[in-house]
């Protein structure tokens, strides 16, 4: 019997018992759709998060002070100026942040104070929409200036271009009046901006929705925090990606020389690329694990396929007897029922594939992250469905093929 004839008989059998076939496919559909959705969202989410880190500068290294270091080993403003003089270094800045409050004529709110040198603009990939970023001179002088994101501008003033307005920032009972000199975006892949409203709400609930992130010189935020200009972490952007390791070692040696603590482990150098590789590995492991757990339903679905194929063999015992009496080979009977099992699983797999992509798209729209459906993912879905059909259909098919014609014809 040709393959086309086997397929025709299989499709006819599935259509004849349509409801039973659909219920049998349900386990395959659920298993494939959940695995596809998880892999698509996991891959897309991984790329989304990694792109955010890369946009902060894949050619950036962080220098962190070890927790067991003494106060005198912390990185000073003079250290930062010395690092900036290195030819291999383009930009250098600490990134200090603190949660305080802010107020304008429209009302009060929660504020996330972010501070650094003027180089923070390049290191954090700040995109100026209105006005300008603060300069190195303003940083050195401790000028009371700031830059806020557009969502914060709208929340605090009712409109986006609020350059020239003032905002009171309060931290630890100390208040400073800052002049807004710019409205900026910290952009991510594709130019999409970070949602500061959601970020602030996570800190302060509904009240935070009227607040904002505030970017200011570190020389302004430090006194409010009770700091005298010493930092435990700085970020250094190399002039060239290929010089990352060299720059990291140069900065580390410079700090050891300036602080006279050679031989200690006071400073730890980490490339941003290291964070990317680590995050990529963690997300891959989590995605694979969750997809594997979801894939258990495929095994359950396969057991359902085996069960229904055994029922089908029992129902068609007389048909099998007649065909064997007329000269059908054992392999032909076996292949017929195996074909039906595979087609049943393939149809379920294709339905699951489309439902999985639809589900991933819904999650993508809700969470505002991209999805990534690779050809390999589709191939795995189709191939796994076929494998389930072959594996769980083998026993029923063999049972049908091993029937003796006389015993099969004797049954009602």
CA angle centred on 231, ends 229 and 234, rounded to 5°: 125
Task: Name the strand (E) or helix (H) holding 109.
Answer: strand 107-116
State how far the Cα of 309 lies from the Cα of 399, in Å rounded to an integer: 10
Query: Residue 190: what pLDDT?
Result: 34
In this structure, of 20-24, 57-61, 354-358, the range with the lowest mean pLDDT score is: 57-61
Give the tens place of pLDDT for each residue, 380-405: 777 777 788 778 778 777 777 777 76
Question: Phi-psi category of 142—alpha, beta or left, where left has phi over 0 and alpha has psi -120 to 50?
Answer: left
Which pLDDT band, with edges at 50, 70 and 90, does 124 fall under?
Answer: confident
The residue among 252 and 107 whose pLDDT is bigger is 252
Biggest alpha carbon distance in the chain? 102
SS3 label, residue 17? coil
> How many CB atoms neighbour CB 72 within 10 A?
11
Q: For residue 216, is pLDDT > 90?
A: yes
pLDDT tens-digit map of 65-77: 988 888 889 999 9
Question: Looking at per-residue confidence, does 100 or 405 come out higher?
Answer: 100
Helix (H, G, I), strand (E, B) or coil at 265: coil
For the cut 70, the answer to whether the pLDDT of residue 409 exceeds it is no
Lowest mean pLDDT among 162-171, 338-347, 398-407: 398-407
Whether residue 164 is predicted with pLDDT greater than 70 in this model: the reply is yes
pTM of the model: 0.56
3-state secondary structure 42-83: HHHHHHHHHHHHHHCCCCEEEEEECCCCCHHHCEEHHHHHHH
């Amino acid at each position: 019997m040709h393959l086309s004839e086997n397929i025709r008989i299989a499709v006819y059998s599935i259509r004849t018992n349509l409801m039973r076939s659909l219920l049998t496919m349900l386990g395959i559909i659920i298993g494939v759709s959940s695995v596809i959705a998880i892999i698509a969202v996991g891959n897309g989410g991984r790329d989304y998060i990694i792109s955010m880190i890369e946009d902060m500068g894949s050619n950036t290294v962080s220098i962190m002070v070890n927790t067991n270091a003494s106060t005198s080993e912390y990185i000073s403003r003079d250290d930062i100026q010395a690092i900036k003089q290195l030819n291999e270094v383009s930009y250098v800045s600490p990134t200090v942040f603190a949660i305080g409050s802010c107020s304008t004529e429209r009302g009060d709110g929660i504020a996330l104070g972010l501070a650094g040198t003027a180089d923070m603009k390049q290191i954090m990939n700040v995109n100026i929409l209105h006005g300008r970023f603060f300069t190195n001179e303003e940083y050195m002088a401790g000028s009371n200036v700031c830059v806020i994101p557009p969502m914060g501008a709208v929340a605090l003033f009712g409109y986006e271009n609020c350059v020239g307005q003032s905002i009171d920032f309060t931290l630890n009972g100390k208040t400073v009046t800052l002049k807004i000199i710019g409205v900026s975006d910290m952009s991510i892949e594709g130019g999409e901006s970070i949602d500061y409203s959601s970020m602030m709400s996570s800190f302060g609930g509904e009240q935070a929705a009227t607040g904002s992130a505030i970017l200011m010189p570190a020389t302004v935020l430090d006194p409010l925090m009770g700091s005298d200009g010493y930092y435990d972490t700085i970020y250094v952007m190399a002039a060239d990606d290929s010089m990352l390791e060299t720059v990291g070692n140069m900065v580390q040696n410079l700090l050891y020389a300036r602080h006279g603590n050679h031989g200690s482990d006071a400073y730890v150098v980490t490339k941003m690329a290291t964070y990317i590789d680590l995050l990529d590995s963690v997300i891959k492991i989590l995605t694979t694990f969750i997809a594997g757990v979801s894939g258990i339903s495929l095994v359950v679905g396969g057991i359902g396929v085996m069960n229904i194929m055994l029922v089908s063999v029992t129902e068609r015992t007389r048909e099998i007897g007649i065909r064997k009496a007329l000269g059908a080979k054992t392999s032909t009977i076996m292949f017929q029922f195996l074909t039906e099992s595979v087609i049943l699983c393939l149809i379920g797999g294709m339905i699951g594939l489309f439902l999985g992509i639809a589900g991933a798209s819904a999650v993508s729209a809700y969470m505002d992250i991209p999805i990534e459906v690779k050809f390999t993912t589709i191939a795995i879905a189709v191939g796994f469905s076929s494998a389930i059909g072959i594996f769980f259909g083998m026993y029923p098919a063999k049972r049908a093929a091993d029937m003796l014609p006389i015993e099969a014809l004797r049954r009602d």
